Structure 1
Amino acid sequence: MADTTPRNSAKAAAKQATAKPTLLSGGNPQIPKGEGDAPVQAYIAAMPGWKSDLGRRLDTLIARTVPGVHKAVKWNSPFYGVEGEGWFLSFHCFTKYVKVAFFRGTSLRPVPPGASKQKEVRYLDIREDDQLDEARFADWVKQASQLPGEKM
């Protein structure tokens, strides 16, 4: 019979809190869905290698460009939106790059380079040696945040 004293429960909780998230195919962190900054920061911290630094840069640029941005983790990806207005952006880890999805990307000027099977979605793929144009990215974020968001 297992010992269920508080001492063992505390150990189990501590072990669970320090356990590294599972990395799914392509190295995408498996993070439980949740609203707010904490799950997004957990996702970013679990991004493998150089992708974690990129995730912090993207998160910082988005938060600086859209003060009070609403954050969540859904489908193992961080989402950014305007409270009550829907989501305008998410990103996701793949083996060799991070894919940023602008949900109304065809309305941005200039249009982000990556096409999608979904009519309005456009992507920006960022690889390890790419130079992120922070001014262009921030401009896309600002534009995207002012468009109707996706309800998900």
Structure 2
Amino acid sequence: MNQSGEGKETGPRLLSGGNPQIPKGDGDEPVRDYIAAMPGWKQDAGRLLDDLIERIVPDVKKAVRWNSPFYGVEGQ
């Protein structure tokens, strides 16, 4: 914090591989947050993959676990 009490907002911490550290969660929102926090070209690639998976996999379930997005189909 600086002397005025304002903290510098830096967003999620990037891990050694350059991937964001995002809390685990289920659903679209945590995955979108993870993708939005990805640096540089990884963000574009993440969005493309997320959109592709949504179009191709009916009723896909999404989650963030172990600082990675996961996609699956219930029961499989």
Q: Distance in 2 between matches of 1:72 and 1:42?
A: 11
Q: CA deviation at 1:26?
A: 1.3
Equivalent pairs, count? 69
Q: CA deviation at 1:84?
A: 2.7
Rg larger in structure: 1
Cα RMSD over matched residues? 1.5
**When you count strand as a share of all residues, which structure comes out higher?**
1
Letter aligned with residue 71 of structure 1: K
Letter aligned with residue 53 of structure 1: D
Percent identity reads: 72
Q: 1:63 aligns with which of 45, 54, 61?
A: 54
Unaligned runs of 5+ in 2: 1-6
Q: Distance in 2 between matches of 1:42 and 1:67?
A: 22
- TM normalised by structure 2 equals 0.84
Runs of at least 4 residues of structure 1 off by over 3 A? none
Q: Distance in 1 between matches of 2:41 and 2:48?
A: 11
Relative contact order (C-alpha < 8 Å, sep 6+): which is higher? Answer: 2
- TM normalised by structure 1 equals 0.43
Q: Distance in 2 between matches of 1:26 and 1:44?
A: 15
Aligned to 2:4: none
